[in-house]
Amino acid sequence: MKELIPILVFTPALGALLQTLNPRPAISRTLAIVASLVSAVAAIALFVQMDPGLETPKYVVAWMRSYSIHFALGVDGLNLLPMLVTAFVFPFLLISEWDRQFGRRGIHALLLLLETGILGALCAGDLFLLLFFLMLTPIPLYFLASIWGDEGRETSAFRMVSVSLVASACLFFGILLIYHAVDPHTFLIEDLAGKLAGKTTEIFGISVELQHIAFPLIVFGLALRAPFWPLQGWFRKFILKVPTTVAVGALLAGFPVALTVFTRIGFVLFPETMKAHLDVWIGIGIANLVFGALTLLQESDLRGILVSLSSVFAGFSLLGIGTAHPTGLVGSQFILFSSMVALAVWGFASEILRYRTRTYAIAEIQGVLRTLPDLGSATLLSIACAVGIPGTAGFISFALLYMGAFNYHPGVVLAALVVSLVVTGFLIQVYRRIFLGEKVQERFTRLGFRERLLLIPLAGVAICVGFFPSPFVEIVRATITKVLA
């Protein structure tokens, strides 16, 4: 089973390579889809073969032996759901770019490279490898934005790269401190577990506890990458300049990866520090909720809604992590899954609308449901999933999150509830404005097969996981229980 992990991670990169080598453009997009689908199938196969009672699959080979750097990839309950949603969404991202006239091979290759970066970062079991994949993801994003973005794209792309470099520098510094603090030196997370408590490092001759320098550096780097409030200004400007397909890819590379890595490093390498600062995580989570909800209310662009919603979801997920309770943590993982499914559907719907209306401006689109009922239904389902209507994956996320949060403090739940109501009210209002509203004369082209393909499977996944969450829950819970113990 462990052989499936490199297939999962590197098949998209191979697909990207084939885009450049393939002399026949006619089959290039088929190759791209196939590469992404192979990765998706590997992800599903891994999930099907996993058993909560058995050891989780790991693929470890020495990479740079003299520096104890390993090529270590693994799948467990801490990365299963983000991994699945990434592997599942990316084929649809490629399909959504199926008919692009300009640079289709390029966008497909870069999306595949981005997929490898995200999956690698999610599955990395070695800190150096983690850094490698984290530093890889901004590269395709940079070109995706700077080539296919809107006016002002270069500035946004450069800002993204600059911020990513700062974040990576912080992460690299923190990781190096960890590497040097243990003897023998290693980057393997599994080997580092339990060995960092009380370790110190010297900086300019001053002895500092590792938990006071390495962990904050890593947290800051991840917060910048996610990005969390108040570090998210660059991300909003980036997303507003790129096509929604790229925006969904960037979102997948953002808070799901950052929070997965944060959970793993926090609870595996620095458990005491993590648990001693639960108030901080909860506080940042609530700040993200409040800020995300407030910015959401003034959004006038369909892509802006993606950014603000991602801030809200990152806040919800961080609340779950901050509870340090198994149920809350499972809820946090589920939030990553359900929110990305919902955001992907919203993103595809936005792109379909833009294709017909030539705009992302909410105020300029109305009465869509009359001619595109399928799109309206799918978007409504994505909203239902995002806000946690029973029968969707979002419901499981919120139920578990609230259960965990109640164990922490009921005030947290009340704050989350208020934000949830505000967000729902806004989404219903936006839905009404775009899809309902006054009747317009223009009749849009009906959805084509590929457009339906973008919406129906994802909506189906949201419902299936909503009714049958148990297989996912059990695997995630088993790992989390083990980690917390």
Partner 1 sequence: MDAELLSSPSSLLVVWIAALSFAIVTAAIAGLFPERLEKIRTSAFAIFAFPGMLFALVYAARGFGVLERPIVHWVFDKGAQDALHLGLVFDPVSFVAVFFAGAAAVAIAIRNRPTIRTSSALVLSWVGLGLAATAQTIWMAILGIGIQILSRTFPLTESAERTAGVDARWIASAKRAWIGLASLLCGGAGLASQGIHLDFLASTPWSSLEATPSAIVAGALLVFGLLVIATPALSSSALHESNDRTVEENLFVSETSLGWIAVLIFYRAFGNLHEEVWLLSVGVGAAVSTAFSIAALTFQSSRTSAIHLWLATAPVATLVLLPFLPAREANLLLLGALVATNGLWVAIDHPRTKADVATAAAFYLGATGFVGWATSAGYANFFSRLESDPALRIPIFLLLLLYQAFGWRLVVRGGDRKENPAPAAKWAALGIFFVLGFGPLMSGRFGGGALPGEPDWIEGAKAWPWIKAATEGSETDWAGFGLSQGLVLVAALFGIFAWRSSELFPFSKKYPGGERAAKGLFGLGWIQEGFSGAFRRMGAYWTESVSATFWERGIPAVGLATLGALRKIARFVEAAVDPLTSEGYGRIFTPAAKLVQWLHGGNVRLYAWFALIWILIFSIYLTR
| Chain residues 376-395 in contact with partner 1, contact rule CB under 8 A | 376-377, 380-381, 384, 387-392, 395
Cβ distance 160 to 225 under 8 Å? no
Closest listed residue to residue 85, CA positions, set 43, 138, 121, 33: 43
Is there binding between residue 469 and partner 1 (CB under 8 A)?
A: yes
Map residue 60 onto helix, strand or coil.
strand
Closest CB to partner 1 among 270 and 472?
A: 472
Is there binding between residue 295 and partner 1 (CB under 8 A)?
A: yes
73-102 binders of partner 1 (CB under 8 A): 102
431-460 binders of partner 1 (CB under 8 A): 432, 435-439
Closest CB to partner 1 among 295 and 317?
A: 295
**Given candidates 152, 410, 448, 460, which one binds partner 1 under the rule CB under 8 A?**
410
**Given candidates 62, 203, 361, 428, which one binds partner 1 under the rule CB under 8 A?**
428
Cβ distance 121 to 257 under 8 Å? yes
Closest CB to partner 1 among 129 and 368?
A: 368
Is there binding between residue 204 and partner 1 (CB under 8 A)?
A: no
Neighbouring residues of 81: CB distance < 8 A, sequence distance ≥ 6: 333, 334, 336, 337, 472, 476
Give the alpha-carbon dihedral of 109, 113, 116, 119, to 10 degrees.
-100
Site track for partner 1 across 152-191, x = CB under 8 A: ------x--xx--x--------------------------
Cβ distance 249 to 149 under 8 Å? no
CA dist., res. 156 & res. 236, Å (int) = 9
∠ CA 347-264-63, nearest 5°, is 100
**Given candidates 32, 413, 462, 465, which one binds partner 1 under the rule CB under 8 A?**
413
Site track for partner 1 across 300-339, x = CB under 8 A: ---------------------------x------------
Number of residues that bind partner 1 (CB under 8 A): 80
Find the shortest distance in angstroms from Cβ 369 to partner 1.
4
Omega into 227 within 30° of 0, i.e. cis?
Answer: yes
Closest CB to partner 1 among 11 and 392?
A: 392
Q: How far is CA 367 from the centre of its chain?
A: 32
Is there binding between residue 473 and partner 1 (CB under 8 A)?
A: yes
Regarding beta strands 58-64 and 69-74, do their DSSP bridges make them parallel or antiparallel, or are they unpaired? antiparallel
Cβ distance 85 to 340 under 8 Å? yes
19-38 binders of partner 1 (CB under 8 A): 19-20
**Given candidates 120, 174, 271, 404, which one binds partner 1 under the rule CB under 8 A?**
404
